[in-house]
Amino acid sequence: MGKSIESMQNDLNILYPTEGFVFDTHTDMQNEFIEKIRNHGIDDALNWLERVKNNKECSYPSELTFKWEGSSECGYTFEISKNPDFSDSYNMVCEVPSCTLYNFEVGERYYWRVNGGRKNSFYTKNNSVRFIKIDGALNVRDVGGNKIKQGLIFRGSDLSTNYKITETGKKVFLNILKIKTEIELRKEMGDETVSAVGDMVRYKYLPYRPYKEIFEEEHRTGIKNIMEFLSNEDNYPVYIHCLGGADRTGMVALFLRALVGESDEMIHTDYELTSLSSYAGDITEGADKNGFRRRNSDYYTEFLDMLDVYAPSEPLSKKIRNFLFDCGVTNECIEKIIKIIKDDTESEKKMVPLS
């Protein structure tokens, strides 16, 4: 006779991660880049990045491999959840005594078990940025993780033209991130009507142009449409993208971060993190000669200079609110967005992981 379920549970020995382990969701390169920006400025950080990057996709998060030992005739059922009772858990069947996962939320405690056995837990570092990996997409990040709730707004590359989401990527999109709406920001994509992920995701076409063009009437109307769409809680979680998730997408992320009161330093650094992606190797608007994004580029500084008239010498939080008013966005709309996305549980995180 085969072993009982209880016997198989007792036979398993958890190897890794051990109870109380703290996992860094950032790679060493990501930590080094953010730290250099913080301590030495963007020019020094990008000079370093140019030497070590080698056109690699460096925007993916760290992976965590779970390991255990012990035989099981029926394989292993792995469960992981942020809830100690394993409600809303993610489950997978493993043929070998290990599995590898990524896309963890930052600053969280996770619980995991195998074959319904003993509960184990670990923590993720309280990082300021949550990098995301979606197979077939690039430059993906959760806009949350600082003063915005995680799991509501994701930003990244397109999914169907230059980059094509894979079946594995679709599973992450739907089952891990649980995205309900894909927001397309490119004006040239007006004929698209269906999400590349499938009918389970709503496709919303909300085009506009970034940088200095954003101050033109047509594109101010585009921003108004985006903000009004984001004021409806039923549309979340959302995935916002243009081509590479850098310029048009970056401006929307900037607006949302400013509305919840993130610091100018945090907002500028978020814009520059696109430099970690292999998409940054393309010479497009907003990029320097190496394809990197930097806060002192002509495109970005021109945008900031034009924005300054809305609240001279004040933080971006005040400038953006006044600009949105000028676009026709109402205070009621802004307050609805803030109520949906703002995370009031903690103060703004540092630009490097907490030890």
Summarize pLDDT for 2-42 with one digit per residue, the tens: 444 444 445 689 999 999 999 999 999 999 999 999 999 99
Separation of alpha carbons 205 and 83, rounded Å: 36
- Predicted confidence band at 73 (pLDDT cuts at 50, 70, 90)? confident
Confirm whether 5-26+62-124 and 30-59+128-341 share one CATH topology: no
The reported pLDDT for the residue numbered 4 is 47
The reported pLDDT for the residue numbered 291 is 82
Closest CA to 120 of 111, 108, 129: 111
CA-derived radius of gyration, the chain: 21
The reported pLDDT for the residue numbered 348 is 57
Separation of alpha carbons 148 and 262, rounded Å: 9
Global pTM value = 0.92
Angle at which helix 248-259 crosses helix 331-341, to 10 degrees, equals 90
Average pLDDT along the chain: 91
Q: Where are the domains of the chain?
A: 5-26+62-124, 30-59+128-341
Question: Is it the case that residue 227 has pLDDT exceeding 50?
Answer: yes
pLDDT in tens, 177-220: 999 999 999 987 766 678 999 999 999 999 999 999 999 999 99
Q: Which CATH superfamily is domain 30-59+128-341 in?
A: Protein tyrosine phosphatase superfamily (3.90.190.10)
Looking up tokens 């703290």, which residue turns up? 22
Question: Is it the case that residue 283 has pLDDT exceeding 80?
Answer: no
Handedness of CA 316, 61, 110, 135 (dihedral sign): positive
How many CA atoms lie within 13 Å of 55's alpha carbon, on the beta-carbon side? 2
Q: Is 5-26+62-124 in CATH node 3.30.450.40?
A: no
The reported pLDDT for the residue numbered 136 is 96
Strand partners, 22: 123
Separation of alpha carbons 346 and 324, rounded Å: 26
